[in-house]
Structure 1
Amino acid sequence: MERAQHVLADVFGYRQFRSQQAGIIEAVIAGNDALALMPTGGGKSLCYQVPSLVRPGIGIVVSPLIALMQDQVEALTQAGVDAAFLNSTLDYREQMELERRIAIGALDILYVSPERLLQERTLNLLSDTTLALFAIDEAHCVSQWGHDFRPEYRQLKLLAERFPNVPRIALTATADERTREEIVTELRLENARRFIASFDRPNIRYTISNMASMGARERLWRFIDAEHAEDAGIVYCLSRKSVDETAAWLRGKGRTALAYHAGLDADVRRDVLERFRKESGIIVVATIAFGMGIDKPDVRFVAHLNLPKSIEAYYQETGRAGRDGEPANAWLAYGIQDLIQLRQWITQGEGSDAYKQVQRQKLAALIGLCELPSCRRQALLSYFGERQSQPCGNCDNCLEPPETTDGTVLAQKALSAAYRTGQRFGASYIIDVLLGRSNERIERAEHDKLPVFGIGKDTDETTWKGVFRQLTASGYLAGDDEGYGSLQLTEQARPLLRGEEKFAVRLPSKETRQKAKPKRASRSAELVNDADRALFEDLRNLRRDLAVRNKLPPYLICSDVTLAELALFRPTDDAGLADITGLGTSKIRRYGANFLAVIGKHPARAAST
């Protein structure tokens, strides 16, 4: 770990590990397998990059995303690491040269797509090379129940058989309990140490609005204009047509808005991606085909003009905002048509009945999150098995509590009916029992003779559906593990059933004019006072010029926090630069003289008395 600490400071410019990083890195350096669940922006990459530089051999990183490979390799190269990627973008000559470098051990880290890794040619090449580790990024792709299933990921189990002495680390930001177990089983990680960091992204503010689709774009514009007038962001839409129309609409409002979807020419998509990475203030309007693998840290907002497919998808997509830890917004507007559309897609889609039932269950959980009257973050974390005892104070429900009514009795009736019918049925069946609807299935199970049969007749079916969604979103009910769609009581339900706590039900929201929220100060803004503002702006201009000169996104030169520390501490030599966050040896060698020259043009701060 002493060597790992040196690599962290000398190569990456950081003084200490965050969260679970130290434990994960220590385990992998020791040759152990690991499963790491960390939120987007939580520093997952360092968990395999540092061990790759400490252990002998090449670190092999499996990634399904070409854009992420390229971004990571560029960042590592800037840090002085010998890194490369092996994927379909390489021509024959480039591939041959890369294979030569691999064969002689001239690389520190190699990124490779799962399809390319599984080719016998690649496996044979790696068999003759000393390997530091295998890192399987986006490991949730192994789950057939997940939102981003990729069949080739399941074949990665052969790494355990073919390279039994090479440690493997699987990493993901989105995995509920079922997905975690599937990762362990499918990737042969039964003996892996598990590291589960908090899923919380406290810098992200969650806002969800139920509204008519006619007003969604106007609401979106009010949000962007009030809170992100000059910021980069992503707007997600369900259809390509909506993407094109929304991008054009935002351009009509004076913003630089680019459309991105699979129907566009590959060169156009590539240009959109490059502009988004390298230019500031660009809004990309996209289908979910855009965003995975984008390492751009200063995306200040992610907006959804339609419902995502699940809470996992929502968490993954919103997680593309604020990767730098600075304040960011996740904004969602949805209408009943979204729900109808997604249900149709599930029904008409491929997959077994059990798979479709799980997708319906996931969609219901998402709707429950949307309709919830209490803290969004608590519900979101609860979905991933994490409890937060206090409301977050940084979501719409915490900042502007919605109107609610006491739904304790309704909740108790719903939970009692679920329990007395054996916890083997879904919401629709239980609601039929509550409403006293007798049918062959209910009569065969003799549930028409239960004391809960008909006790909910005084409440309409729509209200009951909302109650079940909110109970699920709040963690009182959970879906079964087998994919049959049945609802089961959690331990959390006991005090509610006993009347020891209350349950509030959200009332339908009224259309109100969206209020502008106060801007939250970034860390860099907090560091930079009036006396340092001019220097900070000059350093930002220098970073922009260096990025253009080197054909790189500005964030690969350094972050705003790095610039803020430079303006605050005003180092005068390389030793002083080494104390600045994010400046390792390679970046000091590349850009240090430029930073010092700009700092030298500003008078030294007067000593305090």
Structure 2
Amino acid sequence: MDDLDTSDALFPAVNSREWLDVILRHRCKVTKLRPFQLDLGMEVVRGKDVWCVIATGMGKTVLLQAGAIAADARGERGICLIIVPTKVLVEQQAEVAAARGLRALAINEDTVREAALVKRDLWLELTRGDDVRVAIMTPQMVQGRRMQQLLNSAAFVDLVRWVSIDEAGLIDQKNGVFAAPYSRLSSLRVKLNDSTVWVAVTATATTDRAPIMARKLGFRPGGYVDARYSIDRPNLKFIPRFYQHATTGTEHLDLSFIIPPDMQRAEDIISTVVFARTIGPGFSIMDYLDTLIPLHIPNRLQLIKLYNGLMTADYRRNLKRDFPLGTVRVMVVTDTAAYGFDVPNVRRVVTTDLEEDPKEEEQKAGRAGRDGEPAEVISFAPPWVQNLPLGSVPLTKTQLDEEEKRSQLSLIRAWYNPTAFFCSRHALLHYNSEAFPFGAVSPKCCGPIHDPDASKLDLAHVQQWKEYFAQLEEERVSTLERPRADGAFRVLDKPMRESLMHMLDRWSHRMWNEIRPSRELPCSVFFPPFIRDAILDKAYLCTDLSNLKIITKRWEYFDECGACSNF
């Protein structure tokens, strides 16, 4: 399918540096390669194993595919196995490989099942053809029954010419789900030919741990190209913050700065990715932020969307298309998006959970500013992470316990407690044994040390929202909470409250099934938890529809569904 004319006598000689430069630029649709892409791509073409540590957003995928692209341009055949941590990344890498002219097979539990429904066998397709095939899969799929059967075939093994491992640093992950599957990848070495070229890339490997990680993956000491580049991202500004307000299941006041109080149009929301630990908190954050968007904003419930592994491939694909277009302003994601999630125009990343492993914080921060333009990373931590004032000594049991917990955090403690001599960026570079380039980094590279004003506007917005909700509550109290003299109406006891909650949940799901515009939208979009809880808290005051409307003041579906006879 390659439309590049290589017959010209002046075209560079096959496998030369000039030839690879032309081929990769043409296939990857770029005007210029980064030096490491061409340098290490040539090593792969020469048949050498490569271990590469480089910052996120630098184009590591080109290196992972370089050997397959070169072989395809030469008209050869072979198989390239690209191993990635998540099924979301499987689909993304397959799309990229296909766009570069390779026959790409995304192999995960979902794609294998969906292919079987239309009588396709992806494993069989991988074994057939006279071209170059790229199979992208997770470590779990590599270790699955079908793949192991293929590896018992000498004919198949001879076709496997490249093994490329993305996010190789996960083999050293602490308390994570990826370390064990990645560790088992070394068993591939004994099943494949010695001529198979191995490539591993990561942005999270310190100088002392990198050789250990490589050895765990089967790289032989002295037998591979060991390439290390700066992990610094000068376009990112790091802003550590401590939670100032209590977090419940429905309130996230510290995150309210994401929605400007004076918002007039969708574009007033900075394009933001919010990391939540799991799907449940992600729903809660989305629900809360949705309530802050003014009712007059068009498509207001489409501006903030969830992104996680439970969403369909079409939903995720459409979301990654809509976000760069600006029709979606905020994505609330799980840790699934920390690895290889590539959306170029993310101007702000917000992490809502304390990461005890610096590598995890690095990965999430790496989703911001992948287009090279300025971006910021706001990282939240609970108050106990904050050091005591200089000269203070922990005295109480609580202070002693908190000091003990802080002592376990090492670098992360320094990240959240920056000083004039050791800012957050400096801490990250120090962790990776990299010198802090004082003269080369903008003096506003971090907040609050180098840019004390970085948080002022955000914190002012939080204060405005705090005052707004306080006023709203005051209005509700003055309007409604006048107890009856005879005491006839009281707060619901626990059994009655639970019974009403179940009734409301059943009603809301039934109504939403009738009116929802898209099956991807959860019921919480229609009937947010804060509306349900308001009704539960003040059910004794719902003596007529006018009172109910006041209690559910910010529920936009009231006129359409609030007066429903089967409410």
TM-score by length of 1: 0.57
Classify 1:165/1:339 alpha carbon distance in 2 versus 1 (closer, same or farther; 3 Å): farther
Contact map agreement 1:35 1:193 (CA 8 A) in 2: yes
Aligned to 2:451: 400
Question: Residue 107 of structure 1 aligns to which amino acid in structure 2?
Answer: V
Counterpart-to-counterpart distance in 2, 1:312 and 1:372: 18
Question: Residue 353 of structure 2 aligns to which amino acid in structure 1?
Answer: N
Counterpart-to-counterpart distance in 2, 1:103 and 1:238: 41
Aligned to 1:154: 183
Q: Does 1:66 align with 2:87?
A: yes
Q: 1:20 aligns with which of 36, 41, 50?
A: 36
Aligned to 2:487: none
SS in structure 1 opposite 2:210? helix
Contact map agreement 2:352 2:379 (CA 8 A) in 1: yes
Counterpart-to-counterpart distance in 2, 1:364 and 1:97: 46
SS in structure 2 opposite 1:182? helix
Aligned to 2:150: 122
Classify 1:147/1:383 alpha carbon distance in 2 versus 1 (closer, same or farther; 3 Å): farther
Aligned to 1:575: none
Q: Does 1:318 align with 2:350?
A: no
SS in structure 1 opposite 2:209? helix
Contact map agreement 1:141 1:148 (CA 8 A) in 2: no
Counterpart-to-counterpart distance in 1, 2:262 and 2:67: 41
Contact map agreement 1:310 1:366 (CA 8 A) in 2: yes
SS in structure 2 opposite 1:35? strand
- Give the C-alpha shift of residue 145 in structure 1: 3.7
Query: Which residues of 2 match residues 403-482 of structure 1 at below 5 A?
Result: none
- 1:289-346, Cα deviation, whole Å (9 max, x unpaired): 4443422222222112332232211110111112222222211233326789xxxxxx
Contact map agreement 2:174 2:357 (CA 8 A) in 1: no
Question: Residue 395 of structure 1 aligns to which amino acid in structure 2?
Answer: C
Question: Residue 37 of structure 1 aligns to which amino acid in structure 2?
Answer: V
SS in structure 1 opposite 2:132? coil
Aligned to 1:243: 282
Aligned to 1:601: none
Q: 1:49 aligns with which of 65, 73, 82?
A: 65
Unaligned runs of 5+ in 1: 341-358, 403-508, 518-609
SS in structure 2 opposite 1:16? coil
Q: Does 1:104 align with 2:129?
A: yes
Contact map agreement 2:50 2:227 (CA 8 A) in 1: yes
Q: Does 1:301 align with 2:348?
A: yes
Aligned to 1:10: 26
Contact map agreement 2:82 2:135 (CA 8 A) in 1: yes
Q: Does 1:88 align with 2:109?
A: yes
- 1:394-431, Cα deviation, whole Å (9 max, x unpaired): 222454259xxxxxxxxxxxxxxxxxxxxxxxxxxxxx
Classify 1:219/1:199 alpha carbon distance in 2 versus 1 (closer, same or farther; 3 Å): same
Question: Residue 99 of structure 1 aligns to which amino acid in structure 2?
Answer: L
Counterpart-to-counterpart distance in 2, 1:515 and 1:364: 28
Aligned to 2:435: 387
- Give the C-alpha shift of residue 85 in structure 1: 1.9
Aligned to 2:305: 258
Contact map agreement 1:3 1:54 (CA 8 A) in 2: no
Counterpart-to-counterpart distance in 1, 2:340 and 2:458: 32
SS in structure 2 opposite 1:213? coil
Q: Does 1:196 align with 2:228?
A: yes
Unaligned runs of 5+ in 2: 1-16, 247-252, 294-299, 388-404, 462-567
Question: Residue 202 of structure 1 aligns to which amino acid in structure 2?
Answer: P
Aligned to 1:185: 215
Q: Does 1:168 align with 2:198?
A: yes
- Give the C-alpha shift of residue 4 in structure 1: 1.4
SS in structure 1 opposite 2:131? coil
Classify 1:159/1:79 alpha carbon distance in 2 versus 1 (closer, same or farther; 3 Å): same
Contact map agreement 1:36 1:172 (CA 8 A) in 2: yes
Counterpart-to-counterpart distance in 2, 1:287 and 1:278: 19
Structure of higher CA gyration radius: 2
Aligned to 2:164: 135
Query: Which residues of 2 match residues 197-276 of structure 1 at below 5 A?
Result: 197-214=229-246, 216-221=254-259, 229-238=268-277, 241-254=280-293, 256-260=303-307, 266-267=310-311, 273-276=316-319
Classify 1:512/1:15 alpha carbon distance in 2 versus 1 (closer, same or farther; 3 Å): closer
Classify 1:8/1:67 alpha carbon distance in 2 versus 1 (closer, same or farther; 3 Å): same
SS in structure 2 opposite 1:74? helix
- 1:420-467, Cα deviation, whole Å (9 max, x unpaired): xxxxxxxxxxxxxxxxxxxxxxxxxxxxxxxxxxxxxxxxxxxxxxxx
Counterpart-to-counterpart distance in 2, 1:65 and 1:11: 25
Aligned to 1:331: 378
Classify 1:218/1:101 alpha carbon distance in 2 versus 1 (closer, same or farther; 3 Å): closer
- Give the C-alpha shift of residue 513 in structure 1: 5.5
Q: How many residues align?
A: 389
Counterpart-to-counterpart distance in 2, 1:232 and 1:224: 17
Classify 1:63/1:382 alpha carbon distance in 2 versus 1 (closer, same or farther; 3 Å): same
Counterpart-to-counterpart distance in 2, 1:154 and 1:95: 31
Counterpart-to-counterpart distance in 1, 2:260 and 2:381: 16
Counterpart-to-counterpart distance in 2, 1:361 and 1:106: 55
Contact map agreement 1:105 1:129 (CA 8 A) in 2: no
- Give the C-alpha shift of residue 173 in structure 1: 1.3
Question: Residue 430 of structure 2 aligns to which amino acid in structure 1?
Answer: S
Question: Residue 7 of structure 1 aligns to which amino acid in structure 2?
Answer: I
Classify 1:45/1:73 alpha carbon distance in 2 versus 1 (closer, same or farther; 3 Å): same
Counterpart-to-counterpart distance in 2, 1:239 and 1:137: 23
Contact map agreement 2:386 2:416 (CA 8 A) in 1: no
Contact map agreement 1:140 1:148 (CA 8 A) in 2: no
Counterpart-to-counterpart distance in 2, 1:224 and 1:12: 42
- Give the C-alpha shift of residue 288 in structure 1: 2.3
Q: Does 1:288 align with 2:335?
A: yes
- Give the C-alpha shift of residue 52 in structure 1: 1.4
- Give the C-alpha shift of residue 26 in structure 1: 1.5
Contact map agreement 2:79 2:160 (CA 8 A) in 1: yes
- Give the C-alpha shift of residue 239 in structure 1: 5.9
Counterpart-to-counterpart distance in 1, 2:67 and 2:417: 44
Counterpart-to-counterpart distance in 2, 1:224 and 1:79: 44
Aligned to 2:322: 279
SS in structure 1 opposite 2:152? helix
- 1:221-253, Cα deviation, whole Å (9 max, x unpaired): 459979973443211234655433321121122
- 1:127-180, Cα deviation, whole Å (9 max, x unpaired): 344233110111112125475643121121122222221110111111223431
Counterpart-to-counterpart distance in 2, 1:339 and 1:271: 42
Contact map agreement 1:147 1:310 (CA 8 A) in 2: no
Counterpart-to-counterpart distance in 2, 1:250 and 1:130: 51
Q: Does 1:30 align with 2:59?
A: no
- Give the C-alpha shift of residue 193 in structure 1: 1.3
Counterpart-to-counterpart distance in 2, 1:240 and 1:380: 28
- Give the C-alpha shift of residue 198 in structure 1: 0.8
- Give the C-alpha shift of residue 210 in structure 1: 2.8
Classify 1:232/1:176 alpha carbon distance in 2 versus 1 (closer, same or farther; 3 Å): same
Aligned to 1:421: none
Counterpart-to-counterpart distance in 1, 2:262 and 2:199: 39
